[in-house]
Amino acid sequence: MREFRVQTISRRRRLFSLAGLAIALGFPAFAIVGNRCTVSVPDFSEAIILTATPWLTLAWVVVGERRGLDSIGLHRLNRQSLGFGLAGIVVNVAISIGVGSLNTALGLYETQSPFMTQLLQGPGLVLVLIVTNGAALTEIAFRGYAIARLGELAHGRLWIGAVAQIVITTILFTLSRGLAHGLVWLLDDIIFSLFYIWRRDTVACLMAHGVPNLIASTLIAAGVAS
């Protein structure tokens, strides 16, 4: 099992990691809590912030921290990542179907803001981009960056970073899209966070979530599914 073995980090790196976490977790938290709880963040602004967060996170790693993307598990696609990614697609779909069936039995359904509902019912390309970009948000900002940097701040204990990330993001997803989606995310996040700690492979995680999102949103946009 791969693991960070960082015992201590410099004050500069600690400060830069905290600044990066403010982007990767703080921006989405501000957008979602501000929109759902205080109504201080308009729907449009929330959508823009969530869409931009993964790319701002990548920019911060390269330009701000001046570290390689491999520090958050990003690397060139190889056979191992491809294999794990394909397996992850099966796992991701199984989680969605299984927990989705449980939610239906419990009478729980996902919620969307009126603005997001209208946006998702708009041009097909917009739907595909939004849904696919959601995989980038969860895998780059939430999992890849947050677990890595929180783990470093915890002196190399990635499991602490994973637990903190799971709690924070589950709360955010529940606030954003209801308990039904929060339950799906919770199980999904536990499984893929364990995989991330084991393999440190954000590429495989992106594939596991991005491909199903892309296929599903494309079918919906084409009117084949609903």
Q: Residue 5 domain-assigned?
A: no
- What global pTM score does this model have? 0.90
Q: Residue 6 domain-assigned?
A: no
Taking the C-alpha atoms of residue 163 and residue 167, their distance in angstroms, rounded to an integer, is 6
Q: Residue 187 domain-assigned?
A: yes
Give the domain extent around 134. 11-71+78-221
Q: 142-197, pLDDT tens digit by residue?
A: 999 999 999 999 999 999 999 999 999 999 999 988 999 999 999 999 999 999 99
User: What region, left, alpha or beta, does residue 78 occupy, with left being phi > 0 and alpha being psi -120 to 50 degrees?
Assistant: beta
As for how many domains the chain has, the answer is: 1
Q: What is the DSSP string of 94-155?
A: HHHHHHHHHHHHHT------HHHHHHHTS-HHHHHHHHHHHHHIIIIIIIIIHHHHHHHHTT
Joined together, the tokens standing for residue 12 give 């500069």
Q: How many residues can be counted in the chain? A: 226
